[in-house]
């Protein structure tokens, strides 16, 4: 058994097509098929449902795929670990972040770069469910999302800050000088925009409004908070997490929402691993010293 066999299996599971998987691996289709067949023989278990076309993995193949992803992730971590100087933290960390937390990531990564200049980070915008799937597939090293939905058996989590909600509106709106608003009053503030239904944050807003007997019916929906900024400036309102203020730019003001006061813990979530790369350890250290950004004051 070698690393290349595991790579072929992971790519085939992603592509679900022998020819495309072979092209992605820069080998011929017979080579890819032969190496996976060799892996089956070595492990003594069928991995691929046999047929002229790819019909999926067997039950044994699905379990082997999980191990293959884990082994490849550890190999990548090992390469990063030894590619730098032994006294320095070196390598790249991949982080999946939910839209409502994008603006809050900057202080964490700036702290990481300040302490460990050779560290690099890649940010991927994902829904809450996508973050957990990417962790499961070892496509990211850490996720920043809602910690209350994490599986304690699989994940380690670190709380970063508490997310609360505000009504966002254009500058000059009749409600902009209020110190606070009740959720029901926010609902009648004007035409609404919102995050897409697949976003956990949107589901939490909908759940709160349904509890109050109100159904949100936004005129415009978007996958990211920043993309809503132009519509809010043009006259729409939106119920969003307070740190959205850091992404929406000028021309937008907000008022805290109360009755009820709704809040959720945002934190960093990582898959539990026996051997943790130094860059991941360093990221968790920075998370332990994290300070929530301040939102701009109303003018």
Three-class HEC string of the chain: CCHHHHHHHHHHHHHCCHHHHHHHCCCCHHHHHHHHHHHHHHHCCCCECCCCCCCCECHHHHHHHHHHHHHHHHHHHHHHHHHCCCCCCCEEEEEEECHHHHHHHHHHHHHHHHHCCCEEEEEEECCHHHHHHHHHCCCCCEEEEEHHHCCCCCEEEEEEEEEEEEEEEECCCCCCCCCCEEHHHHHCCCCEEEECCCCHHHHHHHHHHHHCCCCCCCCEEECCCHHHHHHHHCCCEEEEEHHHHHHHCCCEEEEEEECCCCEEEEEEEEECCCCCCHHHHHHHHHHHCCCCCCCCCCC
Read off the pTM.
Answer: 0.70
pLDDT digits (tens, 9 = 90+) for 176-194: 999 999 998 888 899 999 9
Span of 14-28, 39-53, 76-90, 237-251 with lowest mean pLDDT: 76-90
Query: Averaged over 282-292, what is the pLDDT?
Result: 87
70 pLDDT above the threshold of 90: no
pLDDT of residue 221: 95
pLDDT digits (tens, 9 = 90+) for 148-166: 877 778 888 889 999 999 9
86 pLDDT above the threshold of 50: no
Domains of the chain: 3-79 (1.10.10.10), 88-161+265-288 (3.40.190.10), 162-262 (3.40.190.290)
Query: Averaged over 196-208, what is the pLDDT?
Result: 91
């Amino acid at each position: 058994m070698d690393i290349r066999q595991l790579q072929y299996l992971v790519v085939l599971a992603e592509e679900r097509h022998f020819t495309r998987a072979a092209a992605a691996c820069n080998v011929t289709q017979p080579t890819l098929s032969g190496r996976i067949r060799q892996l089956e023989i070595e492990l003594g278990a069928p991995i691929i449902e046999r047929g002229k076309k790819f019909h999926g993995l067997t039950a044994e193949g699905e379990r082997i795929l999980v191990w293959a992803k884990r082994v490849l992730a550890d190999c990548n971590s090992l390469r990063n670990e030894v590619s730098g100087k032994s006294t320095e933290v070196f390598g790249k960390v991949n982080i999946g972040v939910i839209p409502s937390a994008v603006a809050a990531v900057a202080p964490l990564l700036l702290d990481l770069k300040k302490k460990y200049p050779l560290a690099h980070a890649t940010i991927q915008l994902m829904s809450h469910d996508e973050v957990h799937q990417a962790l499961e597939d070892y496509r990211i090293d850490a996720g920043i999302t809602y910690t209350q939905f994490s599986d304690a058996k699989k994940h380690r989590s670190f709380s970063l800050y508490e997310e609360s909600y505000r009504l966002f509106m254009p500058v000059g709106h009749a409600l902009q000088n209020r110190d606070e608003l009740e959720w029901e009053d926010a609902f009648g503030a004007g035409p609404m925009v919102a995050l897409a239904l697949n976003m956990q944050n949107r589901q939490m807003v909908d759940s709160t409004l349904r509890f109050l007997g109100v159904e949100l019916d936004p005129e415009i929906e978007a996958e990211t908070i920043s993309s809503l900024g132009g519509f809010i400036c043009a006259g729409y309102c939106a119920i969003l997490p307070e740190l959205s203020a850091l992404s929406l730019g000028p021309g937008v003001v907000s008022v805290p929402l109360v009755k009820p006061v709704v809040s959720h813990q945002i934190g960093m979530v990582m898959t539990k691993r026996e051997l943790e790369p130094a860059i991941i350890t360093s990221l968790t250290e920075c998370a332990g010293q994290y300070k929530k950004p301040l939102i701009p004051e109303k003018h």
